[in-house]
Amino acid sequence: MSDTVLHATDADFDSHVLASDQPVLVDFWAPWCGPCKMIAPALDQLAADYAGKAKIVKVDVDQNQQTALKYHVRSIPMLLLFKGGQVQATQIGAVGKAQLAQMIDKAI
């Protein structure tokens, strides 16, 4: 697990994500989700690649159901790109690092 990937909870989601002055890619995931584990290394790399330009935040949907409900997370992994507190892009399902980087690049 990377030091640069933040783990947000229902309690601190707003401060980590909505109040961020940088674009934030949020990964809604769960420990039992196979595809979630598959994209984790890509997210770690993106967090390092975009340090200082964008943030990568993970939200465990089992532990933080309020946030998952608020953003209508029905299948995981679900990635939402936030900028200025608003959802700019949505990706459902596991995708490659390049596709996720494109999402971030559009918001920077």
pTM attached to this predicted model? 0.96
Could you say which of 24, 26, 33, 54 is catalytic? 33
As assigned by CATH, the class of the 5-107 domain is alpha beta
The active-site residue out of 17, 26, 36, 94 is: 36
Domain limits, the chain: 5-107
Report the 10 Å Cβ neighbour count for 96. 11
> Cα(16)–Cα(36) distance, rounded to whole angstroms?
21
In the annotation, is 33 catalytic? Answer: yes
pLDDT digits (tens), the chain, 108 positions: 456 899 999 999 999 999 999 999 999 999 999 999 999 999 999 999 999 999 999 999 999 999 999 999 999 999 999 999 999 999 999 999 999 999 999 999
Cβ partners under 8 Å of residue 80, min gap 6: 25, 26, 28, 71, 87, 89, 90, 91
